[in-house]
Structure 1
Amino acid sequence: MYSRYDTRNLIAFITGATAGIGAAIARRLVAEGAKVVITGRREDRLQALKEELGEQACALPLDVQDETSIRTAVESLPAAFSDINLLINNAGLAQGGELSQDAELENWRTMIDTNVTGLLQITHALLPGMTERNEGHIINIGSVAGNYPAPRGNVYAATKAFANHFSLTLRADLGGTDLRVTSIEPGMVETEFSKVRYKGDEEKARGVYEGLKVLSSEDIAEAVFWASTLPPHMNINRIEVMPTAQSFNSFALYPSED
């Protein structure tokens, strides 16, 4: 008989939960009886989400770039939320939309510190507990940008290629355990992503999605829910999902002027 994992047994730790995909994942899991630890830098938004979700949620302000912040937060978890068995590495961002030769180095550093170092620091803090209990599932939110080259993607795309591939190598290292690892790699999702990328320029951000029916945060939350509630013997290695309105570019050609 086919039996899904009982969501009421899940205690999820979600990074970047103050908006968009992270908040949607928290709502989806709580609606099915799971407990969630919601984390993020914006304490006002975090507390508002905690009030919305109620007793099934624990709010932990932290910055994934700050190792001390992470360790302090994890050590302060209440007993009812301490045995994390679902880690969702969702925190991430893009900054700048320039070609590599025109990019600002500080934007590159910020993306690496958040999308790569932040992901690693959270994983490193929570993985030992999962391996000790031999129970857990790590879901990394990657991107199709990590699979296909595109102009102006440069370092953002490279950080997502890291997230996508780290998921596979982590799974290889955890072979022989009962832990699961999944990489979820979305295409265009309408969130605050473009607003952050263009540093608050709302008009420019809206223009990215104009005329397109793209994915929603709830679409990605559904993919997370599906992968995390399959029977424990099933591991989904990766999910690549794009809106129907998005497809692949052909190879660029640059005719010679000679």
Structure 2
Amino acid sequence: MTTILVTGGTGTLGRLVTERLRADGHEVRVLSRRAQPYAVDLREGGAGLDAALEGVETVVHCASTQRGGDEQAAQNLIAAARRTGVAHLVYISIVGVDRVPLPYYRSKFAVERLIEESGLGWTVLRATQFHDLLVTLFQGLGKAPVMPLPAGVSDQPVEVAEVADRLNELALAAPAGRVTDMAGPEVRSLDSLARAYLRTTGRRRPVLNVPLFGKTYGAFRAGGHLAPDQAVGKVTFEEHLAHRFGR
């Protein structure tokens, strides 16, 4: 039985990874800012982090925030992993972090480099956006009388449970470096995805495609966040919506 620590183990992805590893009979420690007994803010590190990692063989690093601090958190995690003898660090990243100049993507890419240079055994998986993220986006945009979308942008959402399954496999295998990206089954325009959400939820909103400007928008329009050659996900956005909203 392997002892595995999952950072961000109470989040959308981390919770599912934790469930799968425990179902396979492994001892899993959940690390987050509030989850006892391993309540640690990775951005601060400290003795609590060393205690959480003591005796751990593998870390699955799912903790992340768009509010900043991911690089500091990774530095603290890597330093503690070295001190406590962790053998394998698995990291979930995002397809396009090296192509789309979004600040959050740049931070994720910087964390990848820190892990690659850490001296630890490591595995990095990049995935496209989760279906859940698009639902959250459309819920927010749908509050207005008109739903505005960036014109000409597509997406390739993937089911979070499928990503959790893949991370489970990687955590139980030997360090593999940068593995093949994981993407959803379909490249779809945001317009079509938004309309699917509106149909399923019974909302009536006109969709307005708005041209934007800048390098980040250009990178999204060019498909820098897509991986059409790695469309290994099985669950479509409509199937996710039907399951989530019971329709």
**TM-score strictly above 0.5:** yes
**Offset at residue 245 of structure 1 (A):** 2.4
Residue 99 of structure 2 aligns with an amino acid whose one-letter code is Y
Give the one of 178, 183, 188 matched to 1:242.
Answer: 183
Q: Which secondary structure state, in structure 2, belongs to the residue aligned with residue 241 of structure 1? A: coil
Secondary structure at the residue paired with 2:28? Answer: strand
**2:161 counterpart residue number:** 218
Secondary structure at the aligned position of 2:124 is classed as strand
How has the CA–CA distance of structure 1 residues 11 and 235 changed in structure 2, closer, same or farther, with 3 Å as cutoff?
A: same
Question: TM-score, normalising length from structure 2?
Answer: 0.63
Q: Which amino acid aligns with 1:215?
A: V
Question: Displacement, 1:11?
Answer: 0.9
Could you list the runs of 5+ residues in structure 2 that have no partner in the other structure?
189-219, 225-247
CA-CA distance at 1:251 after TM superposition: 7.8
Match of 1:120 in 2: 75
- What is the distance in 1 between the residues matched to 2:140 and 2:65? 18
**Kept in 2: contact 1:146–1:162 (CA 8 A):** no
- SS of equivalent to 1:239: coil
Query: TM (normalized to structure 1)?
Result: 0.61
Q: Which residue is equivalent to 2:105?
A: 157
Unmatched tracts of structure 1, length 5 or more: 1-7, 48-58, 95-109, 175-179, 253-258
| CA-CA distance at 1:183 after TM superposition | 0.6
Q: 1:205 to 1:35 in 2, by over 3 A?
A: farther
Q: Which runs of structure 2 are paired with 1:179-218 in the superposition (5 Å)?
A: 180-191=121-132, 202-204=139-141, 214-218=157-161
Distance 1:30 1:188, change over 3 A: same
Q: Which amino acid aligns with 1:154?
A: L
Asked whether the equivalents of residues 8 and 63 of structure 2 are also in contact (C-alpha less than 8 Å), the reply is yes
Name the residue aligned to 2:40: 62
The answer as to whether partners of 2:58 and 2:90 remain within 8 angstroms in 1 is yes
Deviation at residue 157 of structure 1 after TM alignment: 1.1
2:96 corresponds to which of 133, 145, 150: 145
Q: Distance in 2 between matches of 1:190 and 1:93?
A: 18
Which residue identity lines up with residue 34 of structure 1 in the other structure? H
Deviation at 1:73, TM superposition (A): 4.2
Secondary structure of 2:55's partner?
coil
In structure 2, the CA distance between the partners of 1:193 and 1:93, relative to structure 1 (3 Å rule), is farther
3-state SS of the aligned residue for 1:182?
A: strand
Q: Check the 8 A contact 1:116/1:162 in 2, yes or no.
A: yes
Say which structure is richer in helix. Answer: 1
Distance between the aligned counterparts of 1:225 and 1:236, measured in 2? 15
Amino acid of the structure 2 residue aligned with 1:235: A
The answer to whether the 8 Å contact 1:215/1:243 transfers is yes
Q: Work out the percentage of aligned pairs sharing the same amino acid.
A: 12
* Residues 227, 236 of structure 1: 8 Å contact kept: no
Q: How does 1:25-44 map to 2 (within 5 A)?
A: 25-41=17-33, 43=34
Structure 1 residues 128 and 82: CA distance shift in structure 2, 3 A:
closer
1:205 and 1:166 map into 2 onto residues whose CA distance is: 38
